[in-house]
Amino acid sequence: DTEVTQTPKHLVMGMTNKKSLKCEQHMGHRAMYWYKQKAKKPPELMFVYSYEKLSINESVPSRFSPECPNSSLLNLHLHALQPEDSALYLCASSQDPLSPQHFGDGTRLSIL
């Protein structure tokens, strides 16, 4: 079991739906990350929150909207997604932006 918890584990949604992915860590880490991973590819960085402020947005389409309500929680709000957005979405956290990142097991997202 990892110390970064992601919910839900699986999500199927239509292109007009709105849903949210959630990530939680209780290790006192101050940096949190969203990654997208397609099959047989490495994780691709989407967003970085450092001390609860968005510090990196890797030119991600606006249909993905991150939110960091507090230092333990990270959300990814989804709206009007496309079939090519189907992937494994990974959350990670680290003690600070330069420390090793620890990953959750991801949310497997399928867009119909």
Partner 1 sequence: EDQVTQSPEALRLQEGESSSLNCSYTVSGLRGLFWYRQDPGKGPEFLFTLYSAGEEKEKERLKATLTKKESFLHITAPKPEDSATYLCAVQGGSEKLVFGKGTKLTVNP
The residue among 20, 34, 13, 7 whose CA lies nearest residue 81 is: 13
Handedness of CA 102, 32, 61, 16 (dihedral sign): positive
Residue 105 makes contact with partner 1 by CB under 8 A:
yes
92 binds partner 1, rule: CB under 8 A: yes
Tell whether residue 67 is a contact of partner 1 (CB under 8 A): no
Residue closer to partner 1, measured from CB, 45 or 80: 45
Could you report how far apart the first and last alpha carbons of the chain are, in Å? 30
Site membership for partner 1, residue 69 (CB under 8 A): no
Q: How far apart are CA 42 and CA 30, in angstroms?
A: 24
Binding interface with partner 1 (CB under 8 A): 2, 4, 31, 41-43, 45, 48, 50, 55-56, 58, 90, 92, 97-98, 100-106, 108
